[in-house]
Amino acid sequence: MKRNIVIAAVTAAALIGGGTATALATTGDDQGSARQTANTKLSDDGDRDDQDDRDDRDERDDDAARVSSSDVTAPEAIASALKHTSGTAVSAELDDEDDGGKVVWKVDVLSGGTAWHTVSVDPSSGKVLGSHADDEDDTAQVRAALKGSSVTAEEAAKAAAGKGVVTSVGLDEDGKDKSWEAETRKSGGAEQDWKIDLKSGKVTADHDDDQDDDADDADDQD
C-alpha cells in the first residue's frame, strides 16, 4: 500500500514538473515571438524609411533632369504661350506630359470670360506643341485676385529668376495675402519657394511653405 502511495506521489510530481516545464517553455516561446514581432516591425519601419529616402532622391533627380533638359525659361514659355493663346497667364510649370513622360512647359491661360486653356510649350525650342480647353471653377477668385495687380506671371517669373532656375510660377488666390508663387532650383539641386508681390514685384521667401513641410515631417515621425 505504501509503495503504491509513493509511486503515485512520484508520478504526480513528474506530471507537475513536466507541466511546469511546459508552461515555462510556452512562456519562453511567447517572449521570443514578441521579440521577433518587435524586431520585424522595426525592420519594416526601417525599410519604409529607406524607401521614402529613395523616393525623395528619385524625385529630386527627376526634377533636376527636368531643369537640365530645358533651354527655355519660364518667362519665355509664358510669352510663347500668350502669342498662341491670348489672355492672362495664371501659371506655368515644367512638367511631364501625360503620355510618354516627355518634359514640357504647361502654361494655363485665362482668356475671354471664363475660358481656360492649357498650352504646352517645347522646353528646347519654345515652340507651342498644342493646347486644350480646361474647366476651372475658380475663375471668379482668379479675376478678383488679379484686379489691381500690376505684375504679370511673366514678370513674376523674371523676378524669381534671380533666386535660381524657375521651374514653376502660379497665382495664389486663396487666403488674405494674394501673391504669385514660384519654385526655383539651384545647380546643386536645392529647391525653394518664393512669394512675389502682385503690385511691387518684391520677392520674399515663402515661409508658410516651410512650415507646412515641417508639419508634414512631424506627422511622418509620429
- Arithmetic mean of pLDDT, 59-64: 49
pLDDT of 174 reads: 86
Q: Determine which helix (DSSP H) or strand (DSSP E) holds 123, and give its type and residue range.
A: none
Q: How confident is the model at residue 144 (pLDDT cuts 50, 70, 90)?
A: very high
pLDDT band at 19 (very low <50, low <70, confident <90, very high): very low
pLDDT attached to residue 136: 84
pLDDT at 22 (0 to 100): 38
Range 21-46 average pLDDT: 54
d(CA 204, CA 194): 6
Q: Is the pLDDT of residue 208 over 80?
A: no
For residue 221, pLDDT beyond 60:
no
Comparing 50 with 187, the larger pLDDT belongs to: 187
pTM given for the model: 0.66
How far is 173 from 179, CA to CA, in rounded Å? 7
| Dihedral, 145, 146, 151, 157 alpha carbons, nearest 10 | 70
Give the residue among 116, 75, 123 at the shortest CA–CA distance from 96: 123
Over pLDDT 70: what percentage of the chain? 60
Residue 130 is predicted with a pLDDT of 95
Q: Which grid cell sits at 50?
A: 529607406
Q: Which of 162, 116, 106, 163 is nearest to 141 (CA)?
A: 116
